[in-house]
Structure formats: structure tokens, C-alpha cells
Structure 1
Amino acid sequence: MSTRYRPPVQARVYVPAAGEAPDVELMPAGDVTEGVVRVGETIRRPHQPQSLAVGGYLDWLEDAGFDGSPRCLGRDTEGRDVLSFVPGRCAEALPEAWVQSEELLASVAGLVRRLHDASAGYVPQAHPFPPRAMPPSAVRPDPTDLICHLDVTPQNVVVREGLAAGLVDFDLAGPSTALRDSYNAAMHWVPLRAPADAWPGWERLDPYRRLRIFADAYGWDREERRRVPGLAIDAAALGYERMHHNAATLDGGWARMWAGGVGDLILRRRDWLEANAQRLEDALLG
């Protein structure tokens, strides 16, 4: 691992390169973070409580040789976080037909595995990740032994030449487990949801086949495959309670998602997972 010197994250001031393009392009708004823009070959994001922790994580990934994440460049004169721009294509809010590619699905799993391998051994010290807001009644989460992305949606994966090449939007990054983070990516990419909630044009896809493709490409072992259906049901229960809690306490994008019906979608996913748990296990182990 590289140990080249760089200023501490909190003291890093971004100095524009000579001749840097001043053009500002508004980037698609995320579910929670707004006001993200592209300036030349950089991305500017509002500074947030987790920004320093994310910056430290991105530094670790850079030193580990992981080429699929932005680089933390510091803060600009407006106080915004400055990250390197990762070129490529991301899905729209309603993923297009090209996102259905099984080759792309397998490459997403491979990218997540490379991220986890690169993350191994990282323990935030100078800037720990802020604790997640958790309702008192929440289902007990998994142990937290690895820093992970935790939001590998089609909108947050950068695609080049039909394959997953990078990850963006590390706003939800933090401690979790490799299995939970990889399952969460599979949930978004298979996707695992009630048929009534399928994206337009995605109704014909076979979720069992696609889950097996993801599992094989990531490299879940036999015991992990046995655990996935139960973990998925628990994750839906935890997700519902966390979303409800965040909507009530954090407002903003969380409240908008809740008002838009995300809670009901999660409950329908949970019911579908419970009804099809054995079929999911059979697909993974068959």
C-alpha cells in the first residue's frame, strides 16, 4: 500500500489547476444530497458531518490501489467538498434497458468484491464515521467489521464500455459487513422487490437467475448463500424502521422518500422475500 504524504483531510484546501474549466454542470440530485455540481474534472458537494470520514476512507482506497472511487481533493473556497470526477455513465432514476445486462450485473458484483478487498484492514481513527440514527425498536444489525459503500445502486455505479468501472456517492458509507453490503448491492441490481414494484421494462427479468449471477461473480461461499434469504428479510425490517425514523428526525430527502411511499415498497419487498425465501436459497445453492 502506498504511504505517500498528503495533508490531513480537514486541512486540505483545493487549489484549482491552471486553466481549469469554470463550467458548472448540475449533477442529478440524490435521494438525500442535493446541490452536487461538476466543475471541470471535479465534483463539488455540500460539506456534511460524514465528509471527513468519507475523505479518510477515499484516501485509504487510493493508497490500496482501488481505481473505482473518486479521490478526495479537499474543500474549495465555498466550503464544498471537492472530489475527482469519475468519467462514465450512470443509470437514471428509472434505470434504462441497458442496465439490465447480465454482463454488467456480474461486473457490479466483481467491483463490489474489489472494493471490499481494498477496504480490508481500514479502521477510521482521526475521523470516525458518525453513528447512524437508529430507532430504539430497530432490528439488531449485523456486526460492523468492514467499512463499506452501502448504497451501490444503478445510479451510483459508473459504467464504461458496458461494465462497472467505478462507484460514486459515498454519503452512506460506514461500518457494516461484506455480506450485508454485497447483498444490498444485489438487492438494487437484481433487483429484489415485489413484482408490482418492477421498473418499467424490467418485469420479464428472472430475479432468481440474476441473484445467482451476482452471487457467483462476487464469490459468496455456501454458508453465505444459505444466510442471504434470512439476512434479506431482516434487512427489509431494519430498513423500514430506519427510513421511518430518519424521515421523522432528519426531514429533507428522507421525508420526501417516505412521503413518496418508500416505506410501503419496503414492506412489499419484505413480504415477497418471506414468500420466496426457499426459492431464493434454491437458486443460490442449486
Structure 2
Amino acid sequence: MVATLLHEIPLQGGDVTDGVVRVGDTVRRPASSSTPAVHALLRHLEAAGFAGAPRVVGMDELGRQILTYLPGTTGLRLESVTDEALGCLGVLLREYHDATVGFPLTSKGWEGGSNDDRAPEVIGHCDLTPANVIFQASRPYAMIDFDLARPTTRLFDIVTTLRHWAPIADPVDRPPLLRNLDVGARLRLFCDAYGVEPRDRRRLIELARFRFHRSYAVMRTRATAGGNWAKMWAGGAGERIRRAVVWLDAHEEELHAHLV
């Protein structure tokens, strides 16, 4: 155990985890049932030489995780929605996936969530929202908050990422900086940067629709337990998913043309 002697600075930006604070050059996060699996993954990433994730320091006297603090900015800014930034994010996600190769793909110990029905290939981050990507000098260089990580396919994690960054959403639900972008062009740009294979590009729209339906069911179930999931659901998360499906159906041919 490591004692907490320094001033705590609350860190905000995520939708689910409360109680995340900065203490000096570390971050303290509440522990959960998935913490042992997440720590094992982070140690694997460190051993693999992947620099884009926090390092595990240990646990403090309050039972919280202690992780290294990664400097930079999160969230959407002008510099974070450029084509260059999106391409760099595609490279970062590819490097992360490649670094997880060799880590056991067991389903035990992880937080549950929506998923692909195909056999897992990697440990996906599965929550690479703008709040969980760290930028320096207008480039994404690291990812944080691995609480929802789990075994999945590469394409499922790509679709989950593009949901927020393309974004695959009805324009009324997009952040202002992303509202008028060419979604199809951004899908292709990200896939080019990642190196998505042609067979997966042909399946991307289908899997995005599948993910929306699965995510709707998972979020609705979690909302019944209360807490932040209930707040997100009450705030219209289900309606936003439904609108995204309608928008995707209406623009499927156009988006598919960009990909293939």
C-alpha cells in the first residue's frame, strides 16, 4: 500500500467512473471487480513497450488503484478533430491492439458489455471516447480508462471508436465540432491509418448496426441498477442510439462506398 500525502485534484470527463483524482504525478481510481484483469493488461502493455497507456503503481491505503498520470489534454478541441489527429488515432489503436497480442483472451475478470459474436482476437479498449484519449501538440499519444476493456475483435473496437470520432451518429446528437464533417471520408481515413483489411471494411457498417442494437440492450439493463448508467439512460442515451441506427440505415450505401 502507498500512503496518500499530497493534495487530491478531481479529474472529470468520463461518463461512468466517479472518484478519479490526481495526486502528484499519479492518478487514483476506485477499484472494481475488473481491476486485477486491467492491471495485468497494463503490465503486459508496459512489457510489450507500448507507451500509450498508464503504468500500474499499486494500490493506496483507501483501496484505490494508483496509476501514473499522463500529461496532456482530453476532449474535443479544434486540433483534436482534424484529419491528422484522426489518422494518428487510427495508428495508436493499431499499436495498442498489436501490443495486446499474446495476452490471454479469457472472458473472466472483465467488465461485461456488448460484443462481436466472432472469436476474440485482442483485448479491446472498448471505450475510446474523446474523454479517454490524451493529446499533446495536437496529436493523440495515449489512452486512459481501461475499465471497459475486454476480449473482442479488432473490428468491434474500431467500430466502437468510430462511433465517437467519425462520428457514427445522427447530426443532432454530434458535438458541434463534429457536426458537419464528412463521416464517410473519416471512416476511410481511420481505416487506412489503422490498416483495416478489405474483408473487415466490407463488414464495418453491418457490425456498427449490430453494435448499436447490442449496446442499447446492455445499457438498458445496466440502467436498472441505478448509478451513473441510470443517469446516462435518463439523459437520453437510448434515444441517441436509436437515432444513430436510423441515420446509419439512411446513409449505409454512401458510407459503404467510402470503405470499399
> Does the C-alpha gap of structure 1 residues 258 and 73 become closer, same or farther in structure 2, counting only changes over 3 Å?
same
What letter is aligned with 2:209? I
Task: Give, in whole Å, the separation in 1 of the partners of 2:255 and 2:118.
Answer: 21
Please give the root-mean-square deviation of Cα atoms over the aligned residues, in Å. 1.9
Structure 1 contact 159–165 (Cα < 8 Å) conserved: yes
Aligned residues: 260
Q: Which has the larger radius of gyration?
A: 1
Q: Secondary structure at the match of 1:35?
A: coil
Instruction: State whether structure 2 residue 229 is matched by structure 1 residue 245.
Output: no
Counterpart for residue 132 of structure 1: 112
Match of 2:95 among 111, 114, 125: 114
Instruction: Please show how residues 79-158 of structure 1 align to structure 2 within 5 Å.
Output: 79-91=63-75, 95-123=76-104, 128-130=108-110, 132=112, 141-158=117-134
Task: Give, in whole Å, the separation in 1 of the partners of 2:116 and 2:7.
Answer: 46
Structure 2, unmatched stretches of 5+, are: none
Structure 1 contact 53–124 (Cα < 8 Å) conserved: no
How far residue 133 of structure 1 moved from its aligned partner, in angstroms, is 6.0
Q: Secondary structure at the match of 1:276?
A: helix
Runs of 4+ deviating beyond 6 Å = none
Identity in percent:
37
Structure 1 contact 61–119 (Cα < 8 Å) conserved: yes
Instruction: Please show how residues 1-286 of structure 1 align to structure 2 within 5 Å.
Output: 13-14=1-2, 22-91=6-75, 95-123=76-104, 128-130=108-110, 132=112, 141-248=117-224, 250-285=225-260
Structure 2 contact 90–194 (Cα < 8 Å) conserved: yes
Please report the TM-score for the alignment, with normalisation by the length of structure 2.
Answer: 0.94
> Does the C-alpha gap of structure 1 residues 67 and 265 become closer, same or farther in structure 2, counting only changes over 3 Å?
same
Task: Give, in whole Å, the separation in 1 of the partners of 2:111 and 2:21.
Answer: 27
Q: Deviations over 1:81-128 (max 9, x none)?
A: 10011111111xxx3333211111111110000000000110067x94
Please report the TM-score for the alignment, with normalisation by the length of structure 1.
Answer: 0.86
Structure 1 contact 42–83 (Cα < 8 Å) conserved: yes
How far residue 186 of structure 1 moved from its aligned partner, in angstroms, is 1.5
Structure 1, unmatched stretches of 5+, are: 1-12
